[in-house]
Amino acid sequence: MKGEPLNILLVEDNEDHAELVQRSFEENRVANQIYWVKDGEEALDYLFHRGAYTDKANSPCPNLILLDLRLPKVDGIEVLQTIKSDQKLKLIPVVVLTSSESELDVCKVYDSHANSYLVKPIDFEKFTTLMHDLGFYWLGWNVNPLR
């Protein structure tokens, strides 16, 4: 699978943050397909091919999920717990990408089996660097089991 574009599911309700993630990946030449959903319910619909996401060609299984915590409809912790309790989805790496620095949030996320917890930097250059490093680690260097 190395060298092939991978699918990233970005679960982010803030349009500006979503655009920053997408732009950062583009600027760092992380050549992957990003599928953006705006709330927790939409993320679960995407992952379980419900509603607007029944066509699996338009909603392929992601190789990586970038998940915000503070989401409308279904919060990020519940989305994470649903992913990690499902036999087909639990091996997908989930990186929580949030503005929360709360120790309680960090503990809940790791207790729910997230693969990583990253705090979004406010500074644009630092954010871009974080996306660069994240892209190369999770999509280039990290080895995941084949599904």
Check residue 9 and give its pLDDT: 96
| Other CB atoms within 10 A of residue 143 CB | 7
Measured between alpha carbons, how far apart are the two ends of the chain, in Å?
Answer: 11
Show Cβ contacts of residue 97 under 8 Å, excluding neighbours closer than 6 positions.
12, 21, 66, 67, 68, 118, 120
- Give the residues across from 94 on adjacent strands: 65
Domains of the chain in start order, with CATH, are 7-141 (3.40.50.2300)
Alpha carbons 66 and 128: distance in angstroms, whole number: 15
Q: How far from chain centre, in Å, is Cα 28?
A: 17
Task: Write out the chain's pLDDT in tens, 147 residues.
Answer: 455 678 899 999 999 889 888 887 777 666 578 899 999 999 999 999 999 999 988 899 998 999 999 999 999 999 999 999 999 999 999 999 998 999 999 999 999 999 999 898 888 788 878 877 776 676 666 666 655
pLDDT of residue 25: 73
pLDDT score for 109: 96
d(CA 41, CA 32): 24
Dihedral angle of Cα 54, 57, 73, 86, to the nearest 10 degrees: 90
